Amino acid sequence: MTSTALTPSLIKRAPKVLLHEHLDGGLRPATVIELAREANFAGLPTSDPDELAAWFVVDAPGSDLVRYLEGFAYTTAVMQTRDRLERVAAESAVDLARDGVVYAEVRFAPELHVEGGLSLDEIVRAVLDGFAQGTKEAANEGHRIVVRTILSAMRQASMSETVARLAVNFRDDGVCGFDIAGPEDGFPPTKHLRAFHLIQREDFHLTIHAGEAFGLPSIWEAVQFCNAERLGHGVRIVDDIQEIDGRVVLGRLANYVRDRRIPLEVCPTSNVHTGVATSIATHPIDLLKRLRFRVTLNTDNRLMSGITLSEEFARCTEAFGWTLEDMEWLTLNAAKSTFYEFDQRLAMINTVIKPGYAALRSETQ
């Protein structure tokens, strides 16, 4: 089969699946400013949308995950009421749909939104209602999207078991899984075993932030102690891959992750901004792809990285020469790795994703 070169137009129109996106990392800059004004929050560095968008993007030399996370203090500050949570979620769904995303699992930490007096249940319900509203708005614009929610617990806090139970309670309303997020170093996933065991006993789904700022021990614990179905980032698995006498040799953990087809929720631009990689061109995603790991491409935080999923694909295409066939392979990886029910997952692949790519190929022949 002839490979089809990727153009910005093809990338934008191709069906895309997003597994790793934080709700509080994807606000529109203008919305942050407007909500800050409504909340009498005077801490923003600027009230100009373009300047604020540039301020949020942490791409200075020496940036790390801790610096990258600082911007969330501003976004969470304006997401403390039902109306604001609902608005942010609705806009997220619309923005993703306009970018060609047909399915997204967007995560957020309910415990970060209690300062306005909302209960955890009210917070989750507001976000779910917002996604439903945004999905309808996108459909009115001619865009098809399914948005589901992953509830994250902060790994440096002690609410993980509560949030895990919350996720289970809303599993029939649009919550599809559980996660822990926040700084990895010093906060291993095994500190939250009770939460993970609760999720497993309930036959529910979990993904764990691991192998981003911290290396192989974080991945090993997430996989072997916590039974993670997916790895949030997971890119540091490359530390267990060596080149010996011109051959690429996988260590035991890397082999295990590849053999088990454990999906990696890779976010290249974010990784550059947090210092995990020095550039897109030197990012290990292409190596992991060539080694046939279950690689998926994601945005992480569209606001903090100034990126869309289409732009993420475009940057990797420029760096690695990816084709439409590569993009389809990555998208199918993501679709197969969703926490969607099997029948619905299969229907999405066979009626939306594969026909979408076939139509794009036919245009170029």
Catalytic annotation, pick one of 105, 184, 212, 221? 212
- Written as one string, the DSSP assignment of 183-239 is --TT--GGGGHHHHHHHHHTT--BEEEESSSS-HHHHHHHHHTT--SEEEE-GGGGG
Tokens of 103: 């399915």
Query: Is 91 annotated in the active site?
Result: no
Identify the CA nearest to 117 among candidates 157, 80, 92, 150. 80
Angle between helices 160-169 and 120-140 (to 10 degrees): 50
Q: How far is CA 312 from the centre of its chain?
A: 12
Cα angle value 186/187/188 (rounded, 5°): 105
Identify the CA nearest to 81 among candidates 38, 140, 28. 38
Residue entry with tokens 């993670």: 228
User: Residue 13 belongs to what H/E stretch?
Assistant: helix 8-13
Identify the CA nearest to 216 among candidates 241, 242, 243, 236. 236
Cα angle value 315/319/321 (rounded, 5°): 105
- The answer to whether residues 189 and 164 touch, using CB atoms and an 8 Å cutoff, is no
Question: Is residue 194 packed enough to be buried (19+ CB in 10 Å), middle (13-18) or exposed (0-12)?
Answer: exposed
Residues identified as active-site: 212
